[in-house]
Amino acid sequence: MLHVPGQSDTGEVSTNRCGGVVADDRELPSGVLAGRLFAFFRLSAYSGARRGELLFLRWSNVDFEKGTIRIQGTAGMVAGKRLEGTPKSGRERTVSLDKRTLTVLREHQTRQEAEQKIAGDAWLGDDYVFTTGLGRPVPPDTVTNLIAVLIRQYNEPAIPGTRRTPRQELPRPAQPLPPARLHDLRHVHATLLLIAGVPVHVVAERLGHADPAITLRVYAHVSRQHADQAANTFAAAVDGDDQTGASESDSEATEYDPVSKSVSKPSVHDRTPRSETL
């Protein structure tokens, strides 16, 4: 069942009761906005949840004692209006979080409470975890577009110009970041869990796939990698010695190659899987 929340998604600048000006997030520089949304990107990478599921998340869905979040819905934009509904699988799920991610969420909550005090009567929040400076839920396109902007700024660093001074380019990094999308964080999350040997049905439940067969299909490249080593793994377990026959390079941890859609040697700069919306 879809509904349109009462908040407007238009950008504006409001004045709080103390006379201060509180700008909508669309007014903020990308670097500042990225800092405010760090918790979103952290949670996206470490939970494997979809963009809309995290933008729907309320603080009442976060259980700091149990270390979990409850995925109860999803949010998106249709014809310029924010719509909310049930998760893609049609059912709710609980996702466990690591201690560091929980700490990041607590810090984010503290900052949000401080923003609410600054905004005063201008605050329009409704328990959303990820909000603009006025408490409105963050628009989906904001987090999606920010990834590309931050990668470009990292690859092409510069001091912005002014009316009196030109833009000053800075030395570029030796290893530039490759193109990546927000949804790639979800696929890296799933791929690394499967490589680590987490059962497919557990990964499927974490991702919100209605059927583990979906997970097997999307991440078939990981299954093939494991199949190649199955015989040697069994022999090592029964005979008590290592018969994997892996080369020095193969013995390293592996990662997902977005170009060939295969598992390969690690490089943090190559971790950019192209994906579906699953």
Where are the chain's structural domains?
13-158, 183-270
Query: What pLDDT, on a 0 to 100 scale, did the predictor assign at position 271?
Result: 42
Between CA 138 and CA 173 the distance in angstroms is 31
Architecture of domain 13-158: Orthogonal Bundle (1.10)
Residue 130, C-beta contacts closer than 8 angstroms, at least 6 positions apart: 37, 39, 40, 54, 55, 57, 137, 138, 143
C-alpha gyration radius of the chain:
22
Q: With b meaning 16 or more CB within 10 Å and e meaning fewer, what string describes 220-232?
A: ebbeebeeeeeee
Q: Is the pLDDT of residue 47 over 50?
A: yes
237, burial (CB in 10 Å: exposed 0-12, middle 13-18, buried 19+): exposed
Copy the structure tokens of residue 221: 């490249």
Query: What pLDDT, on a 0 to 100 scale, did the predictor assign at position 164?
Result: 92
Query: What pLDDT, on a 0 to 100 scale, did the predictor assign at position 242?
Result: 62
120, burial (CB in 10 Å: exposed 0-12, middle 13-18, buried 19+): middle
- Confidence band (pLDDT; 50, 70, 90) for 67? very high
Q: Which one is predicted more confidently, 220 or 94?
A: 94
Query: What pLDDT, on a 0 to 100 scale, did the predictor assign at position 274?
Result: 39
